[in-house]
Amino acid sequence: MSFSMTGYGQSSLQFGGYKITFEVKSVNNRYCEVVLRMPRDWMVYEDMLRKLVQEHIRRGRVDVIINREVAEDAASLQVLNRPAVKAYLEAAEALRSEFGMDGELTLRDILSIPGIMELKEEPSAVTAGSAEECSGMLEQGLTQSLQSLLQMRAREGTHLAADLSDRLVHLEELHAAMVAVAPVVVSEYRDKLRQRLSELNDGTFPFEEHKFGMEMAIFADRCNIDEELTRLYSHFEQCRALLSGSGPAGRKLDFLIQEMNRETNTIGSKCNHLTLVNLTLEMKAELEKIREQAANIE
């Protein structure tokens, strides 16, 4: 199954009088980059949480946001932190008197300061609980949000894989048209060249079949695209195998698309036929669309 690198997951749980919310967002990235934002006193669990994310996500930038707020049922236990209020007011007065700064602290300003309201009794599971309890809680919450994220990435990845499969069908149709046209390039060039020489021949020079045959042999070798067509077909098959596989396919798809572009460019430089030129241009345009879509796959 193919996974998109774009997704969002969320979960929440109650722990020690607090509501803990987990948000996980992922976007495209060449590697697996994990960015964690959480309360400072939980930073000791950063390595554990980072490894947990990397066990689920192989590629993409993943932003993990963990918030902690007092649960509704514990809100009645909050009281005013009077020493903190006094300290802020004294600091404001010092700024006015020493530095001549203007402005007044309002009630709204005071209440918006972190730590102004505190619990009568701090939840023991958060402040003094064992590291094992806190680690287990963080692992549980993050795992739930990661599962939600993976479900979204899987749904989008399914749509991306279906779109890429349809575009591969179009590439195969263009490839089949190239295979049909390639054998007649030499014969058409031979007929046109023979006709042109007949029109130019006024009887002053002999027509040498041997030299004509050598010229045709050189032209046939120069415009032969059998190898490029064979490699293109092989790349199509590998792309289908990657899209139907279970592992990360993004980087390999990117490499295969580069190779298909290279083969298409070679065909364009070799072909001396209007139909092949048009088919080559159409294939390059389709490959560019595929490249843009494949950039979203893990």
Residue 274 forms part of a structural domain? yes
Tell me: do 13 and 150 sit in the same domain.
yes
Question: Predicted confidence band at 287 (pLDDT cuts at 50, 70, 90)?
Answer: very high
Domain match, 139 and 258 both = no
Same domain, 15 and 146: yes
Is 170 found in the same domain as 286? yes
What is the pTM (predicted TM-score) of this model?
A: 0.66
- Checking if the pLDDT of 124 tops 60, the result is no
Asked, for residue 2, whether it belongs to a domain, the answer is no
Q: Are residues 105 and 140 in the same domain?
A: no
The closest of 236, 238, 165, 242 to 1, measured between CA atoms, is 242
d(CA 158, CA 286): 20
Domains in the chain: how many in total? 3
User: Does the residue 140 lie in any domain?
Assistant: yes
- pLDDT tens-digit readout, 148-192: 999 999 999 889 999 999 999 999 999 999 998 888 776 666 667
Position 1 in a domain: no
Give the residue numbers spanning the domain of 89: 82-115
Same domain, 187 and 206: yes
